[in-house]
Amino acid sequence: MDTEEYHDHPVRSYVLTSGRAHPSRNTLRPETLVRAVESRPVLSTAGRLERELVQLCRGTLALAEVAAYLQLPVSLVAVMVSDLVDSGNLTIRSNHQAHVLPGKDILEKILDGLRKL
């Protein structure tokens, strides 16, 4: 059942992103797949949340999943993920261009997959 309660978050978002509300790239969506770059050590200046985020992404996850596990808003995690892509600690796994809709071939594959469920 839907519970859909409202909660407030105790941490003010701007504290975690040094005052920025927008990510350094605008191609990140909730479903964008991200993954840690294993060979790249996290900078010693990185905060606890950044380390946790990279740790979480040892396997592929969507941005929204990262946000849910960290209990932070997607918009905030997008800023953090974008920074970590810039620093080389995360890579965007989705190998298609953002803002390009899936083609008919992709939809056919999805249909085949759904019919086998």
Which residues pair with residue 35 across a beta bridge?
91
Which phi and psi (to 5°) does residue 111 adopt? Answer: -60, -45
Q: Residue 1 corresponds to which tokens in the numbers above?
A: 């059942």
Site residues for another protein, window 78-97 (CB under 8 A)?
93-96
Instruction: Name the residue type at position 68.
Output: A
- Residue 112 touching another protein (CB under 8 A): yes
Stretch of 38-46, 81-89, 107-115 lying at the interface with another protein (CB under 8 A): 107-115
- Residue 21 touching another protein (CB under 8 A): no
Which of 98, 109, 91, 2 has the alpha carbon at shortest distance from 38? 91
- Residue 98 touching another protein (CB under 8 A): yes
Chain positions contacting another protein, by CB under 8 A: 1-9, 13, 29-33, 52, 56-62, 64-75, 93-96, 98-115, 117
